[in-house]
Amino acid sequence: MGEFYVCSCFYTHNFYIKELGLHAIYISKEQFLIQYSKVLKQHGYSTDERIQSILSQLENELQRRENLGPAFLHRKSIIREKYKMLHPEIFQLKTEFLQPEFLNLVNYCKQSDATVGGVMQYLEETQVKNVYAFPVFTDSFCRKLIEELAHFEESDCPKGRSNTMNHYGLSMDEVGFNDFITTLRVEYMQHITRLLFPEWGGGNLDSHKAFIVKYKVGEDIDLGYHYDNAEVTLNVSLTDNYQGGSLYFGDMRTVPLPDTECSEYNHVYGVGILHRGQHMHGALPIYSGVRYNLITWMRSSKIRNQLCPMCNNKPDLVKTVGYGDGFTADAQQITDVCSLT
Ligand SMILES: O=C(O)CCC(=O)C(=O)O
Ligand SMILES: [Fe+2]
Domain ranges of the chain: 67-304
pLDDT at residue number 338:
38
pLDDT at residue number 161:
77
Question: What is the reported pTM?
Answer: 0.91
Closest approach atom of ligand 1 to CA 165: 9
Query: Is the beta carbon of 283 within 6 A of some atom in ligand 1?
Result: yes
CA quadruple 314, 319, 321, 325: dihedral, nearest 10 = -10
264 within 8 A of 247, measured Cβ to Cβ: yes
CA quadruple 177, 178, 180, 182: dihedral, nearest 10 = 160
Residue nearest to atom 2 of ligand 1 (CA): 283
What is the 211 CA–ligand 1 centroid distance (Å)?
10
pLDDT at residue number 254:
86
- Give the burial class of 251: count Cβ atoms within 10 A of its Cβ; 0-12 exposed, 13-18 middle, 19 or more buried: middle
pLDDT at residue number 203:
96
Spatial CB neighbours of 60, under 8 Å, sequence gap ≥ 6: none
What is the 200 CA–ligand 1 centroid distance (Å)?
19
Closest approach atom of ligand 1 to CA 247: 3
Query: Is the beta carbon of 293 within 6 A of some atom in ligand 1?
Result: yes
Q: Which amino acid is at 209?
A: K
Query: Is the beta carbon of 223 within 6 A of some atom in ligand 1?
Result: yes
CA dist 238 and 39 (Å) reads 37
Query: Is the beta carbon of 280 within 6 A of some atom in ligand 1?
Result: no
Spatial CB neighbours of 162, under 8 Å, sequence gap ≥ 6: 169, 170, 171, 211, 212, 213, 295
pLDDT at residue number 259:
86
**ipTM of the prediction greater than 0.85, yes or no:** yes
pLDDT at residue number 1:
64
Query: Is the beta carbon of 295 within 6 A of some atom in ligand 1?
Result: yes
Fold of the domain built from segment(s) 67-304 = Jelly Rolls (2.60.120)
Closest approach atom of ligand 1 to CA 228: 10
Q: What is the pLDDT along the chain (341 residues), one digit of tens a residue?
A: 679 999 999 999 989 898 898 889 999 999 999 999 999 999 998 888 889 999 999 999 999 899 988 999 999 999 999 999 999 999 999 999 999 999 999 999 999 999 999 999 999 989 999 999 999 999 999 999 999 999 999 999 999 877 777 788 899 999 999 999 999 999 999 999 999 999 999 999 999 999 999 999 999 999 989 999 999 999 999 999 999 999 999 999 888 888 888 999 999 999 999 999 999 999 999 999 999 999 999 999 999 999 999 999 999 999 988 899 999 997 545 554 433 33
Instruction: Determine the 3-state secondary structure of 175 from DSSP.
Output: helix
